[in-house]
């Protein structure tokens, strides 16, 4: 079952890596608030159609936890497109490494998850690899506002996914959670667009809308749905440490458009991180195999 969780998680990571590049080209033609609204609308439509095709109509969950989840998601979406308009996809991916830090800290504080000493060591080694890979001079030389928004959007998405992990334990449908989440987010994102005067700002570009729609479909629907499914089989802290691979994958995909210098430091960082992730997952499998033998 855990193998299925890792497969779902890897598919989600791939989708999440392609989306930011498309979104960057999209916000060059439309405002961040308009992009955020399109993002939410596309996910809502995709979620509804997916449920219809499956023969499982989506449900709207009106409990307090789901409303809070939608509010957190709306903050994340708004900050995501503000930072996308100010930074390059590579910079956003690099700053996004803090997602792993937030995810681990929040899983310990809220979900009361525990890590073994080996897992803690591998997680710290993976994080060290990310820092080695990143050229911090480029990150901190970027727009200050964009960097702050990118940092806080990772926090809100990590916090949002924490609540999703708690919600998944109540056997709610993944697609209906996604639908409810974005119904609530649509209200707050639209209010933001109205208050900031971006709702009808400029002429809407069809190519811009198309790029944001495709990006949203990959990251907000396909990638997110696979993440929700992965969280059914993986612990939150383990799933999100493996997702630390995403910044490197994003850098590779974005390289033709936003070239980055390849140095020995980056190669060493990538090697340390990949090895740590491999050891983290293989160690977990050994522990499960040993526990099964003991039970037998």
- Tell me: the pLDDT tens digits for 33-46? 999 999 999 989 98
CA quadruple 2, 72, 156, 47: dihedral sign: positive
C-alpha dist (Å) from residue 151 to 62, 158, 222: 29, 11, 23
Among the listed residues 4, 1, 16, the one whose alpha carbon sits nearest the alpha carbon of residue 245: 16
Q: How many CB atoms lie within 10 A of CB 64?
A: 7
Instruction: Tell me: pLDDT of 257 over 60.
Output: yes
Q: Is residue 282 part of a domain?
A: no
Q: Residue 74 in contact with residue 185, Cβ under 8 Å?
A: yes
What pLDDT, on a 0 to 100 scale, did the predictor assign at position 187? 93
91-141 pLDDT, tens digit per residue, is 777 777 667 667 777 777 776 767 778 878 877 887 787 677 655 555 555
Max mean pLDDT among 158-172, 221-235, 247-261 falls in 221-235
What H or E segment, with its residue span, contains residue 217? Answer: none
If 0-12 CB within 10 Å is exposed, 13-18 middle and 19+ buried, where does residue 67 land?
Answer: middle
Residue 222 lies in a domain: yes
Q: 155, 188, 163: which is closest to 65 by C-alpha?
A: 163
Query: Is residue 265 one of the residues assigned to a domain?
Result: no
Per-residue pLDDT for 286 more than 60? Answer: no
68: nearest Cα among 194, 156, 189: 156
218 DSSP assignment: I
Prediction pTM value: 0.72
Q: How far apart are CA 210 and CA 114, in angstroms?
A: 43
Instruction: Render pLDDT for 61-103 as a digit per residue (tens, 0 to 9).
Output: 887 878 888 888 899 999 999 988 888 787 777 777 667 667 7
How many independent structural domains does the chain possess? 1
- The domain of 175 spans 2-123+144-260
Residue 288 in domain: no
Say if 192 falls within a structural domain: yes
Q: Is 277 inside a domain boundary?
A: no
d(CA 194, CA 239): 37
Q: Is residue 89 part of a domain?
A: yes
Cβ partners under 8 Å of residue 227, min gap 6: 8, 9, 12, 161, 239
Instruction: Pick from 79-88, 159-168, 185-194, 221-230 the range whose average pLDDT is largest.
Output: 185-194
The answer to whether residues 99 and 53 touch, using CB atoms and an 8 Å cutoff, is no
Query: Does the residue 167 lie in any domain?
Result: yes
């Amino acid at each position: 079952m855990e193998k299925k969780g890792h497969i779902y998680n890897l598919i989600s990571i791939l989708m999440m890596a392609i989306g930011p590049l498309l979104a960057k080209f999209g916000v060059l033609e439309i405002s961040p608030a308009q992009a955020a609204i399109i993002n939410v609308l596309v996910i809502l439509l995709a979620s509804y159609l997916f449920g219809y095709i499956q023969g499982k109509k989506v449900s709207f969950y009106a409990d307090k936890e789901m409303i809070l989840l939608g509010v957190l998601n709306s903050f994340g979406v708004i900050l995501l497109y503000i930072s996308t308009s100010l930074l390059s996809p590579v910079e956003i991916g690099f700053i996004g490494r803090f997602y792993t830090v937030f995810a681990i800290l929040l899983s310990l504080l809220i979900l009361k998850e525990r890590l073994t000493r080996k897992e803690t060591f591998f997680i710290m080694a993976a994080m060290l690899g990310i820092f080695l890979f990143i050229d911090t001079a480029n990150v901190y030389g970027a727009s200050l506002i964009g960097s702050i928004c990118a940092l806080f959007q990772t926090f809100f998405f990590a916090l949002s996914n924490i609540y999703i992990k708690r919600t998944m334990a109540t056997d709610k449908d993944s697609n209906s959670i996604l639908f409810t989440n974005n119904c609530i987010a649509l209200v707050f994102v639209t209010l933001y667009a109205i208050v900031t005067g971006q709702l009808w700002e400029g002429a809407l570009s069809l190519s811009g809308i198309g790029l944001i729609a495709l990006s949203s479909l990959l990251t907000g629907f396909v990638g997110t749905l696979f993440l929700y499914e992965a969280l059914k089989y993986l612990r939150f802290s383990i799933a999100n440490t493996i997702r630390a691979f995403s910044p490197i994958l994003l850098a590779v995909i974005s390289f033709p458009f936003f070239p980055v210098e390849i140095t020995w430091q980056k190669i060493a960082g990538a090697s340390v991180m990949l090895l740590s992730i491999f050891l983290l997952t293989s160690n977990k499998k050994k522990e499960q195999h040993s526990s099964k033998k003991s039970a037998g």
